[in-house]
């Protein structure tokens, strides 16, 4: 399996409702120093996500791309259709290889009016 396929699989797992409901699953995926900037513009850390929970919506990932930043750090960008909230977001994640496994270190979501095909055209996919 390629690195892109491996990280896409992890990213897809991260956005699944059953994963997001599970404190144990989130604890395993999120790095200890994980933080994110939500689509609301509010920052969250791992502790908040584990204690308060994360948004539970039906999401579909599209146009997944990665850009290695170093041997053990990768930037991922993609488009998400959120069927529950009837909105779309542009997403970016930084994955770090920590203790011999990929962990989500940073995440950001930005609400967009772009349709997934418009996004694909704009980023040249």
Instruction: Write out pLDDT tens, residues 2-21.
Output: 999 999 999 999 999 899 88
Q: Return the bridge partners of 35, or none.
A: 45, 106
CATH code, domain with 54: 3.10.450.50
Nearest by Cα to 9 from 33, 29, 36, 32: 29
Cβ within 8 Å of residue 124, ≥6 positions away? none
Task: Give the DSSP letter of residue 16.
Answer: S
Predicted TM-score of the model (pTM): 0.92
State residue 55's pLDDT score: 78
- Listed as ranges, residues in the chain with pLDDT below 70 are none
Residues 52, 54: Cα–Cα separation, whole Å: 7
Half-sphere exposure of residue 58: CA atoms within 13 angstroms, side-chain side: 3
Number of domains in the chain: 1
Residues 125, 120: Cα–Cα separation, whole Å: 5
β-pairing, 101-112 with 59-70? unpaired
Residues 76, 53: Cα–Cα separation, whole Å: 23
Contact between 83 and 59 under an 8 Å Cβ cutoff? The reply is yes
State residue 42's pLDDT score: 92
State residue 114's pLDDT score: 93
Give the domain range for residue 74: 3-122
């Amino acid at each position: 399996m390629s690195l892109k396929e491996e990280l896409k699989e992890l990213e897809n797992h991260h956005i699944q409702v059953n994963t997001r409901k599970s404190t144990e699953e989130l604890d395993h995926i999120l790095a200890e120093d994980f933080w994110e900037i939500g689509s609301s513009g509010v920052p969250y850390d791992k502790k908040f996500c584990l204690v308060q929970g994360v948004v539970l919506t039906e999401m579909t990932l599209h146009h997944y791309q990665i850009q290695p930043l170093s041997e053990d750090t990768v930037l991922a960008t993609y488009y998400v259709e959120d069927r529950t909230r009837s909105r779309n977001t542009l997403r970016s994640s930084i994955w770090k290889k920590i203790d011999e496994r990929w962990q989500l270190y940073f995440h950001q979501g930005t609400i967009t009016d772009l349709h997934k095909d418009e996004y694909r055209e704009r980023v040249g996919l």
